[in-house]
Structure 1
């Protein structure tokens, strides 16, 4: 008799593309696992539970990053210290609770994995009277306390520093696994030849290319105009993503410039990374991880206050990228990155196969015990305030009920 397939529910959100790509990387790994069968369900919980609100919030999120970056950074710092069991935490994690309860009843997953901190799984399980192993994959190099919940069976984090931070908040160390951020196999495997990729994409293999993830960047025209003044001879590959309006606008503006090629959404972005001499991008953790894993020199343009700045600063400390705060300095950073690569080709910084490690741990943890959690685990351990949010948090502590440090160990 064939063994029943494991049912895995992966909960993500479309605030940026990174959370979805991490979910796809995990799905890819589950599908290729040799020792068990898996039935994987990817769910954008907020979009399915509140489609109209999801569209509004995603639009507001994107606009805030362009128009009000300091306001976004302020709100990030203020809430970095929120507790799951206080009004703000309960309110945020209640979004999608009914939908999540329905999914748990219909899919009956053996494990739930969060790649975005909408943690409606826990109130949904409490209301349904069921217990399922749950895991959280933190998709940044900067920790925000919104990811933390005492009933999470396992955390998969990018760095040893983040593990120490979470352990310092009272989470047992054996629940925290340093794996790196999962990326899809095509960013870790052997590259196709430059000649093959250029032939497929209609590119000149003898020409230098600067890959610009323009769809996620502010001041796109000013940035492109600055890059067109590069002293080095290079073609700009502008990836506009799903922003069709921007794609049309850029194509019209630069239609007479042979050194500019506008691209819409590129599902196989690794092909363009393979032939690029440099990539200019925002500081999304997944894009940075993909580019660095492939050894492409990275220039981060105007890192957003909050998790993006934290991501950029982490890799900047490792001298794995350069940061540019305006259109004028990005040109110099790109020229330096290209010249540095010509003098000494970039080395790939070692990355653990995060997806493989996570799947193995989920399989081990899910098989080891699916019994109900002890009632003692349902106590209300608090969460320490992260240093970055302490000063701002003092001002709004009464409203958000963000508590000071405590010593309870989960």
Structure 2
């Protein structure tokens, strides 16, 4: 069997639009290798495999659109959410060269963690001998941009998304509720916290971009100084060197710990009781697996809006509107009533974790490869 598996290649197509798609790809590779390292697993940015010159410009355009023109981004996002993907011609740019790449790799299975990559695979399979394919939905969404008729299997974030996809005509057995795949090191069996003493982790993503400015960080610093016996705060500045220097050298914070880019995020998250961050799909499921309730600003970008709705519906976090709203949350954290709030959120996270099965990812993949091999 192992000799047979050595010849099996799994191609995972991903993209750099946000960190979640790549982290999902890496997590899936880890889930496979944990059980069997005989598979040849190739992770590839689908744009680099087709038109590498436009990858950086496309990523920059995405970042600018989501930051400065969210209304325009959302117009297209919600259009695609209910738009039959077979009429979306954007794949035409990438499919020809990507098809050459796929033929060269000759994989036994293709996994897509980005919707446009799934579109290219769909169009590849229409014109060539079909290769089994899985689509991994990396936000809590049921957008049609992820859905293609010749997709063999879907990994979805929640039962609700499975139910919505079934209503859209997808075969129930092809939809596996895995949650968004993330590094399993984030997982804890039971969160330990001390009532009345809270550790809060402030995250701005890899680029260190926060939803509040440095003045507000100094407000937090003063607030922690007054409430040291109840609240401990750490800011992770990521790759934002300017912010890190400002907070540690130019106008250093005295009561808040400031870190730069970290490689042990899973250890950090597990050590803290709360995360104040952005509602990306990967971040959300890192919080869920580490049993860390999440605080996020009401987002402006389509998929993050859907993720925020999920946070509220499941009762696993807190959404705020502006700085004044956030100040009230800080006041709440140091009050007696927060003990019952965090207990409520932790119970909901534990309940939700029981409904997702990332531990089955390897079995689902093997099942599909073997079934398709038998069909041949």
For normalisation by structure 1, the TM-score amounts to 0.78
C-alpha displacement of 1:298 = 1.4
In 2 relative to 1, CA 83–335 (structure 1 residues): closer, same or farther, beyond 3 Å? Answer: same
Q: Does 1:356 align with 2:353?
A: no
Q: Deviations over 1:323-378 (max 9, x none)?
A: 111122112224435656656653442425643322211211111124889xxxxx
SS at match of 1:85: helix
* Aligned match of 1:23: 25
* Aligned match of 1:14: 16
Matches within 5 A, 1:267-346: 267-337=263-333, 342=339, 345=343, 346=346
CA distance in 1, matches of 2:241, 2:121: 35
CA distance in 2, matches of 1:313, 1:253: 39
Runs of 4+ in 1 over 6 A off after TM superposition: 191-194
* Aligned match of 2:110: 112
* Aligned match of 1:232: 227
Unaligned 5+ runs, structure 2: none
* Aligned match of 1:83: 84
Contact 2:9 2:109 in 1 (8 A): yes
C-alpha displacement of 1:133 = 0.4
SS at match of 1:237: strand
* Aligned match of 2:201: 211
User: Quick one: which of 353, 366, 369 aligns to 2:372?
Assistant: 369
In 2 relative to 1, CA 253–45 (structure 1 residues): closer, same or farther, beyond 3 Å? Answer: farther
Matches within 5 A, 1:63-212: 63-86=64-87, 89-91=88-90, 93-118=91-116, 119=118, 120-127=120-127, 129-189=128-188, 209-212=199-202
Unaligned 5+ runs, structure 1: 195-206, 374-410
Matches within 5 A, 1:53-72: 53-72=54-73
Contact 1:217 1:301 in 2 (8 A): no
In 2 relative to 1, CA 100–216 (structure 1 residues): closer, same or farther, beyond 3 Å? Answer: same
Aligned length: 356
Structure having the higher helix fraction is 2
In 2 relative to 1, CA 40–80 (structure 1 residues): closer, same or farther, beyond 3 Å? Answer: same
C-alpha displacement of 1:273 = 1.3
CA distance in 1, matches of 2:163, 2:25: 25
C-alpha displacement of 1:136 = 0.5
In 2 relative to 1, CA 330–193 (structure 1 residues): closer, same or farther, beyond 3 Å? Answer: closer
Contact 1:12 1:114 in 2 (8 A): yes
C-alpha displacement of 1:121 = 1.6
C-alpha displacement of 1:252 = 4.4
For normalisation by structure 2, the TM-score amounts to 0.84
Q: More relative contact order in 1 or in 2 (CA 8 Å, sep 6+)?
A: 1
Root-mean-square deviation (CA), in Å? 2.9
